[in-house]
C-alpha cells in the first residue's frame, strides 16, 4: 500500500480492510410479536404505542385520521410494538407513516393511554397502549400499507363512535390539544 501526503504534510496511510461500507438503512425493527406472545403467556401485560394523526378541520374543529385494521377492517388508530432504540414517541411516528401514510410532528407528551384485549392464536392478552398526538403536515399518496388499509379523516365525535375500544373512544372524546 502506498502512502499519500495530505496538504498538511502528514502522511495518510490507508488502513487495511477498510473497504467502504454501505450505510445501513434506518428502518426501525419492532420487537417481535413472538416476544409479546411470550410475555402474555407469562401473564404480563403487553405494551404498544399509537399515534392519533390530527389536523385543523375546515370548520375550525379538530379532525383525526383513523385507519382500518388489516384483518377485520375495523377502524383503529395507527399503532404497533415498541421499537428497540426508539422512544415511544418516535415509534408512534413511524407507525403513523407506515399504517396511515402521514408525516408530521408528534407532540412530546403522550395524550393518554388505553387498554384492550388482543386476540392471540390460542388466547387473549391485555395490551396497554401509550398514545401520542401527531400534527399532520403531509399525506403520502403511496405508503407501505396503502394496499391493506383504508384511511379516513373524521370529526372527533364521529371517530369515537367508530372505535370499538371503549377506553380509546373516551380518550378521543376528551381530546385536547396543548394550545387549547
Query: What is the per-residue pLDDT across 26-42, written as a single tens digit (0 to 9) for each?
Result: 444 445 566 766 777 77
Give the three-state DSSP class for 155: strand
pLDDT at residue 3 greater than cutoff 70: no
Residues 6+ apart with CB under 8 A from 149: 67, 68, 69, 70, 99, 100
pLDDT at residue 53 greater than cutoff 90: yes
Measured CA to CA, the distance from residue 169 to residue 175 in angstroms comes to: 10
Burial of 91 (0-12, 13-18, 19+ CB in 10 A): buried
CB 121 within 8 A of CB 39: no
Residue of 134, 116, 129 whose CA lies nearest to 48: 129
C-alpha cell of residue 152? 379516513
Measured CA to CA, the distance from residue 67 to residue 73 in angstroms comes to: 8
**Where is pLDDT greater, at 19 or 81?**
81
Select from 3.30.750.24, 3.30.70.1350, 3.30.1510.10, 3.90.79.10 the CATH code of 33-173: 3.90.79.10
pLDDT digits (tens, 9 = 90+) for 83-128: 989 999 999 999 999 999 999 999 999 999 999 988 877 778 889 9
Mean pLDDT for the stretch of residues 150-165: 96
Residue of 158, 156, 104 whose CA lies nearest to 132: 104
pLDDT at residue 161 greater than cutoff 80: yes
- At 38 the pLDDT is 74
Measured CA to CA, the distance from residue 63 to residue 172 in angstroms comes to: 11
Amino acid at each position: 500500500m502506498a502512502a499519500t501526503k495530505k496538504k498538511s504534510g502528514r502522511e495518510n496511510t490507508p488502513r487495511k480492510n477498510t473497504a467502504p461500507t454501505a450505510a445501513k438503512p434506518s428502518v426501525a425493527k419492532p420487537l417481535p410479536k413472538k416476544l409479546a406472545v411470550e410475555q402474555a403467556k407469562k401473564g404480563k401485560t403487553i405494551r404498544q404505542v399509537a399515534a392519533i394523526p390530527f389536523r385543523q378541520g375546515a370548520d375550525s374543529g379538530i379532525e383525526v385520521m383513523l385507519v382500518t385494521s388489516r384483518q377485520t377492517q375495523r377502524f383503529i388508530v395507527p399503532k404497533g410494538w415498541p421499537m428497540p432504540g426508539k422512544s415511544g414517541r418516535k415509534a408512534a411516528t413511524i407507525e403513523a407513516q407506515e399504517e396511515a401514510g402521514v408525516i408530521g410532528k408528534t407532540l412530546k407528551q403522550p395524550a393518554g393511554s388505553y387498554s384492550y384485549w388482543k386476540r392471540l392464536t390460542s388466547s387473549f392478552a391485555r395490551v396497554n397502549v401509550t398514545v401520542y398526538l401527531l400534527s399532520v403536515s403531509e399525506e403520502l399518496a403511496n405508503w407501505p400499507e396503502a394496499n391493506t388499509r383504508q384511511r379516513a379523516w373524521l370529526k372527533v365525535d364521529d371517530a369515537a363512535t367508530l372505535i370499538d375500544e371503549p377506553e380509546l373512544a373516551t380518550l378521543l372524546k376528551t381530546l385536547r390539544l396543548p394550545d387549547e
